[in-house]
Structure 1
């Protein structure tokens, strides 16, 4: 059975890009006689605003979507800690503490990856108290890949892919200000929720290499991915909370017809100034 999910973070209102992503996940599940889940990803520290989750539910209902809600990320912290401590550190020994700042990394990095400067390994092998409040935990990518062996994964739109998590270098898996990075939390959550088809925007395509590595290390099932096109603004940039893209709540409260909007997004009849692209 197909199980998909929509997993927004309550650090800003939903916009048209979120609506499109939710509709894709919802419709693929319904077409396959499966389940469409809503998961609130609320571990972004003080940026997470609990009251926004209710606005998200109203937005999805306004669009005519039906879903099953699963526990929010804030209820899963023990699971993240256990996976990191017992498996990634205890069993495999692939995490190490790091106290480098972003400015220090930018100044010393000599290579760039999909997310920007690749960490140069400054703290690898250094003696750092792992309980320091300013310490994050990074994955020793070379060691992790040696343990995992060759990796592959499949995107429903573009086919089989060879796993290349090394493109990112030693990424952070436990943040200084959060119990888990996006990479670790979403990988564990999708497995716990039984997700069989991970639908998300094409901007997260490269991140799947890391998630596939974590699945192998943690002994998790491997889903299929579906990286859909993004909604772009007039400048060709993806719609984003940080650029104050018009919110679904504003449209809803203004009396716009949510069912008509969902129908238009499905048919590609996009609002003026909005286009689809990767």
Structure 2
């Protein structure tokens, strides 16, 4: 009886992260070049996965220090959407399980959209608790973007089903009665903050995709509200929509031009 086909072996290797010595020996001694090539691909994938695991442990420095002090409920907070000309600013507060290992968690800006979507699902499934906060474009105009980002972060914290004992926050201090540490570039230094950056970014991107259905002329699904040349051209052609931040200079300039007409 013949052994498994190359297609069957490929499927098996895609589903496992460990090979016994006996399985590896059989694959290495298989007369088919394609099988040995699949083993090489598997080895490279596992090497990359191990590098991501090592990076995760390295980025858990702040969390581990707190765990060792008996503080187990640690949450990270970050926001997405300070720079765009349209749409809300979104923040997330994420409390990871101390035993969780999520290879690939990183500053959301360093990840591709498919990577962020995959990690979003993993974070939501494994987090001890998380919350999302949102501040609209109109409120951004009313209180300014810095205060809006802080308000979104505060709302994310308030929306958690269970509040943490300590907060790690990306370059911000919040008006909440929980001990906190502000970390410059925290999304690249702390897994909790990086996880929050992913939840905030994916949530906001999905909202902008929805807004693209309502205001397709601005291309929000592609530019996510940032001032790309195509977005600026649409602003000049169509003016501002209700989701534009009227206090941001490129939008304000268009409004002043319309007023002069």
Shorter-chain TM band: under 0.3
Question: Between Structure 1 and Structure 2, whose CA radius of gyration is higher?
Answer: 2
From the two aligned structures, give the one with the greater helix fraction.
Answer: 2
TM-score by length of 2: 0.22
Larger strand percent = 1
Tell me the TM-score normalized by structure 1. 0.21
